Amino acid sequence: MLKVRNLSKVFDKVQAVDDVSFEVNPGEIAVLLGPNGAGKSTTIKSIAGLLRFKGQILINNTDNKSVEAKRAFGYIPETPALYENLTVWEHLEFIARAYSLRDWEETANRLLTRFEMDDKKDKLGKELSKGMQQKVSICCALLIQPKMIMFDEPMIGLDPKAIKELKSVFLELKQAGCAVLISTHIIDSIEEVWDKVLIMNKGRIVLNLTRDELDNKGESLEKIFLEVTDS
Ligand code: ADP
Ligand code: MG
């Protein structure tokens, strides 16, 4: 579903991402794990088409800048970027228009119910907590029924209950056959849910492990993480 080949990105003199390649398949939860500054956000923003880069990124077998690719993925940025003076419902309406969705209201209502926000439809962006803003951001991403979805550091600033909820969202997306890419620097936060972990350090993927490969190693992810990064 997602194929990243030889992705590199330089900012001024900083090599933020250095020759990164990986794939995420339908129904797979992949985690980009790395310390701050490892290049996770730059990788995700490149995939989302927000940055120029060197290399090739295919989403559903089309170039990530194509219209088809843009219709196929959702992106939840680290800081939810809601409009202060739009209501929750207006955010969904905005996405529906931008993507020329038809008959989207039923899906929107179903998502709001799923995220327990039926009573928040008329709340303005600025009236919502960080956790609520993230839920709106997720609803907006899911409204287009994406085949691939990316979350950048989704656990930051959430309480344990919200983190648990988020994990069940990841698993639902997996069940639905969506390819899921999650970036995080907190190892604990992603236990139980991932199928594949890509450990990033200084712009490179230093280790690509499936769950079976980790089990065969007989070591904790934390120990391996500390061995292959300098954090
Ligand atoms: P992570 O998300 O893993 O914390 P980032 O992808 O945000 O890492 O950053 C990787 C490197 O690129 C860091 O050294 C960071 O300072 C640098 N960087 C990221 N964005 C920019 C930018 N817009 N301009 C200059 N340097 C940047
Ligand atoms: Mg980041």
191-217: average pLDDT: 94
Residue 17 has pLDDT above 80, yes or no: yes
Q: Is residue 231 pLDDT above 70, yes or no?
A: no
The finding on whether 181 has its CB within 6 A of some atom of ligand 1 is no
Residue 159 has pLDDT above 80, yes or no: yes
Choose the CATH number for 2-72+146-228 among 3.40.50.720, 3.40.50.300, 3.40.50.1000, 3.40.50.2300: 3.40.50.300
pLDDT, position 90: 97
pLDDT of 29 strictly over 80: yes
pLDDT in tens, 30-83: 999 999 999 999 999 999 999 999 999 999 999 999 999 999 999 999 988 899
Which pLDDT band, with edges at 50, 70 and 90, does 157 fall under? confident
Nearest ligand to the C-alpha atom of residue 200: 1
- Residue 9 CA, closest ligand 1 atom number: 12
* Residue 36 CB–ligand 1 contact under 6 Å: yes
Of the candidates 32, 50, 28, 48, which has an alpha carbon nearest to the alpha carbon of residue 40? 32
The residues with which 9 forms a beta bridge, in sequence order, are: 17
Query: According to the model, what pLDDT value does residue 93 have?
Result: 97
The string of pLDDT tens digits covering residues 136-151 is 999 999 999 999 999 9
Query: Which of 42, 50, 53, 78 to mutate to test ligand 1, by most ligand atoms within 8 A of the CB atom?
Result: 42
Ligand 1 touching residue 34 (CB < 6 A): yes
pLDDT band at residue 202 using 50, 70 and 90 as cut-offs: very high
Nearest CA to ligand 1 atom 11: 16
Delimit the domains of the chain by residue range.
Answer: 2-72+146-228, 84-145
Q: What is the mean pLDDT of residues 167-182?
A: 95
The number of the ligand nearest the C-alpha atom of 79 reads 2
Pairing of strands 2-11, 54-59: antiparallel
CB atoms within 10 A of CB 1: 22
pTM over the 0.80 mark: yes
ipTM: 0.98
- DSSP assignment string, 11-53: ETTEEEEEEEEEEE-TT-EEEEE--TTSSHHHHHHHHTT-S--
Eight-class DSSP state of 84: T
